[in-house]
Amino acid sequence: MMKKLLLGAAAVAMLSTAAMASVMIAEIPGATTVGTPYRVGGMSADGAYVGFSRNRWVPSHNNYFDGGSLYEVATGNIIDLDFVSGSVGVRGVATWSGGAPVTVTVEEAGSTDLGGYREGLGGARLRHSGATNTHHTQPGNWNTISLNADGDGWIVGTRYAANNFLGWQVTGGVVNDTAVADAHVYPGNNVLNGVSHTGMAIGNWRSTDPSWDKAFVVDLNDIANRRALDLSQVGNVNRGQGNAVSDNGLFAGGYAFVDDANSLNGFRLEIASDFPAQDGTYTRLLPYGYDPNLGQQSNVFDMADDGMAVGSSFTTRQDAAVWLAGSDQAILLYDWLVDLGVDMSGWDSLNRAVSVSADGLTIAGLGTLAGGGGAAAFVAVVPEPATLSFLALGGLALLRRRR
């Protein structure tokens, strides 16, 4: 038995060493906060592209604007998107086998946000139901997009005028203007923040008594299949927000309040197989080095297909955090990369992990550059499989914080 254990450990180490060759972190240059407070506006499910905005010269406008762009992870190339007017932020990006990446954007026109989507990389073709190839949509936000290899999936967001949530079906990389989920099913503003290519979506609504945000999940293929989540199973009160759904539609995440004050923790929801009859199984995702006496907080921004969650952990500052599948313990992404041998001397800290690829191997977010360089967007690639490498490198070594 001992011999088998030793051989197993050696095999794990060999696999980890081979995988570490691709481990890296890179700055996404010039990323601004236009269209998103996190400098990163989503990632394609395959981890190939990260959406963001940067200030650049636009010849058609003879001026500088914050314009939507894509960062190609494998090459470091930047692809600038055309736009109509004002400043444009990318909210989501998806790839498919039949064409160029598809993005969803928010255009800031004065005090009004105008949501839209762009087919491929050329032109500024923004649509809304009933009007094809128009430049502007009605005021609102598109928040994310998810497509499968055939270009089929969904875009979700909110429409301000009626406080409705919106879901547009995409077929073959083109939005189907007649397949629209435009509904107000809960009190207050209804917003969808995350969606899978299968149409499982999560968002939040504003309760009127008391005036709290609450989370819900809806199947956009039939919006009668929906359920207001019971986040008291995570904290002490039914209060919080749904932020993300895994690309395969099996997991969802966000945050829940653990008391009536402003203390919140991230959650993972494994959506029930008989949804909407039941919510599913909740896991409270603890802050790094959890101590109930310290008032620590955590938040989940995105989910991988195996239930891995990414987000932030906060004690005295925010740190980008990862919760591996099946675990409620936070790993600090900065420490993980250091232990994997990545040179982190260019970074003072990583503050939020905002997006993750479906396989959990590519993570993007917001960090702080060393030497007073200020805030910057990052993309990191971790080895495959993440859980195996974590064990091989000695998981306990990651439960420390280098300052």
The residues spanned by each domain of the chain are 31-140
Nearest to 335 by CA among 354, 322, 317, 316: 322
Token couple for 42: 């989503």
pTM of structure? 0.87
Question: Which pLDDT score, from 0 to 100, does residue 304 have?
Answer: 97
User: Which phi and psi angles does 10 have, rounded to 5°?
Assistant: -65, -40
Question: Which pLDDT score, from 0 to 100, does residue 187 have?
Answer: 86
Write out residues in the chain with pLDDT < 50, as ranges.
1-21, 110-112, 119-137, 388, 391-393, 396-399, 401-403
pLDDT digit string (tens) for 180-212? 788 889 988 899 999 999 999 999 998 766 667
